[in-house]
Homo-oligomer: A and B are copies of this chain.
Amino acid sequence: MTRAAMTPEKDAEYRAALNTALEAGSKVLREGGSSLDAVQAAITVLENDPHFNAGRGAVFTYNGTNELDAAIMDGKTRAAGAIAGVTHTKNPILLARAVMEKSPHVFLSGAGAEEFAREQGVEQVDPDWFATPERWRQLQELKAKKLGWFDVDLKYGTVGAVAVDGEGHVAAGTSTGGLTGKRWGRIGDSPLIGAGTYADDRACAVSATGAGEFFIREGVAHEICARMRFTGENAQKAADTVIAEVGALGGDGGVIVVTPKGEAVFSFSTPGMYRARANSKGLHEVAIFKDEALAKH
């Protein structure tokens, strides 16, 4: 994700998509909705947009399928829902929400998760819905070049959102197709509560993207919350420290973080991270590259 690799057209498309998702979440909050609903609204937009590696436009597994993971968490109650390896659920974030609210469990997987989805009336689609030519091309490129597992350009694109509402409750959600060419039923950090997704009103809400295996070993999202709770670090310092620790383990990536007081920060070690933020005082920013200040849209 560098300026050199991005055409002006693509750049504009991504910024427009980010803006649409940001507005979907903002609208919920403007109308007095919860942070949980705002997170869900933003992620649903990103899942439906083929530019991102989640829902439609998800990367392909080694076997040529799209297998989707997602999680959502409510900082007020620390209730959480997550799913892994679903292949027919149009919006995995909606299924994660249903797991949180309609099942006694936190984490469902595979065919069983979709049996639950059908019982709950969560929209199912033909697997072709998720497939795009660009992602197919990326899988063929990966196989042809024998690229490494954590090659940045082909493999990230996980989507996430964090929000705080008028009552000071935070929420986090994450949705992804995982790594291009993933095999053996691999589950990354995105749907793992505490790794790629965590929300706790005592500290913050976090959603992560990157080389998931390193994020799991660090326990990134929970670690950022723990640092804030126990050391008194602010969100930026905690996020920067944890992303540096992931780097020390060997992994790249980034996080978005919001606190109950309304601080919204980013930290990432990649050349860029699609990102955006807004608040009720008129802030409305979208950015892609590392060397780019968040610009008014």
Contact = CB atoms under 8 A, between A and B. Distances in A.
B110 A109 contact: yes
A219 interface: yes
Contacts of A84: 109, 187
Chain A binding site: helix, strand, loop or mixed by DSSP? mixed
Interface stretch (A190-198, A253-261, A283-291): A190-198
Nearest to A213: B106
Copies per complex of this chain: 2
Interface stretch (A35-43, A134-142, A161-169, A226-234): A226-234
A105 interface: yes
A186 B217 contact: no
Interface string A154-191: 00000000000000000000000000001111111000
Contacts of A198: 219
A293 to B, nearest CB: 32
Interface stretch (A10-18, A112-120, A270-278): A112-120
Contacts of A78: 217-218, 249
A146 to B, nearest CB: 13
Interface in A228-270: 230-231, 249
